[in-house]
Structure 1
Amino acid sequence: MNDLFHQFAKRASDASGSPWAFAISVFVLFVWAVTGPFFHFSDTWQLTINTASSIIPTIMVFLIQNTQNRDARALHLKIDELLRLAEGGKSPFINLQTLSDDEINQLANWLSAIIRSNSNSQDTSDSH
């Protein structure tokens, strides 16, 4: 079932981001607006678009989030593999996404200090 959902989420995400999906949405809104006078702009007529504009985005959030989570995980794995190959498996940046927020902040501070130290040493060497 998981694979079936992933496949559906990927296809739905791809389809919803297409120009055709946008064109269909505009067409549906146009048809809804044009039919307003026919239904005398009734509460039911308004409720139709209100319901659709609530339900569809809610479902799409879950589908798109699933796709983004899978894409982000794949990207992390690719970057980890590149770091492993470049650093011989010794890089502190491998599996960074599994660290706690405090550990990420510590690593960010460490990296900032290295960058500042490198830029300071370049500044002093440039002045000599």
Structure 2
Amino acid sequence: MKEAPSGARTRPRIRLRGRHSVFDRLSGRVTAWVGSPWAFLLALLAVLVWAATGPLYHFSETWQIVINTGTTIVTFLMVFLIQQSQNKDSLAIHIKLNELLAAHELASNRVVAVEDLDEQELQILRAFYCELARRAAEGGGVKESHSLDEAQELANRKHGLRHGERATKRANREAAVSGE
């Protein structure tokens, strides 16, 4: 972070609204349009026109190649547009989730940017959360704990109370026996 003239730290500037690449704008518009009822109707109309022209072309191989080639080309290009749009949406969701995790006092910061972990690390983290779910179920429901740290602390407190209660009961019995 940059140092302000007074010595206080300032946040780095982040441009929230900037220029988007042509590909970014194009992919966003195309994927939005392709997901519309109008796009479906246009595709349906194209298939119906193609099917209706079958008798005219005697259902020839060329007639079949037209639809196969057209759909293959459209599918090939759409894969890249949809993937770019999906990547952007996924990144935005990760940023929003990271903000919520960072802002919530009880949330575990261990999972901020978890998408950068490799498969093995994700499996380890999943095992921790399975353990958290198991402990929550034992404790009376899934709303009992909010993080692994809190679950561990709660388990330690419960364990300590059980042992502490035994020690207290033992001390009370010993005090009663000795007449104190």
TM-score tier by shorter-chain length is 0.7 to 0.9
1:79 and 1:54, CA in 2 relative to 1: closer, same or farther beyond 3 A?
same
Higher relative contact order, structure no. (Cα contacts within 8 Å, ≥ 6 residues apart): 1
**2:138 pairs with one of 115, 120, 123:** 120
**Offset at residue 3 of structure 1 (A):** 0.9
Q: Structure 2: state its 5+ residue gaps.
A: 1-19, 142-180
The higher radius of gyration belongs to 2
Question: What residue is the counterpart of 1:45 in the other structure?
Answer: 63
Work out whether 1:6 is the aligned partner of 2:45.
no
Question: What residue is the counterpart of 2:95 in the other structure?
Answer: 77
**Offset at residue 121 of structure 1 (A):** 3.2
Q: Structure 1: state its 5+ residue gaps.
A: 124-128
**Offset at residue 38 of structure 1 (A):** 1.4
Work out whether 1:104 is the aligned partner of 2:122.
yes
Indicate the structure with greater helix content. Answer: 1
1:76 and 1:106, CA in 2 relative to 1: closer, same or farther beyond 3 A?
same
Work out whether 1:33 is the aligned partner of 2:39.
no
Q: Percent identity?
A: 36
Q: For 1:37 and 1:118, locate their aligned partners in 2 and report how far apart those are by CA, in whole Å.
A: 67
Q: What TM-score, normalized to structure 1?
A: 0.87
**2:35 pairs with one of 12, 17, 37:** 17
- Which 4+ stretches in 1 moved above 2 angstroms? 87-90
Q: What is the alpha-carbon root mean square deviation over aligned residues?
A: 1.9
More displaced, 66-75 or 113-122? 113-122
How many residue pairs end up in the alignment? 122
Q: For 2:68 and 2:34, locate their aligned partners in 1 and report how far apart those are by CA, in whole Å.
A: 19
Letter in 1 for 2:75: P
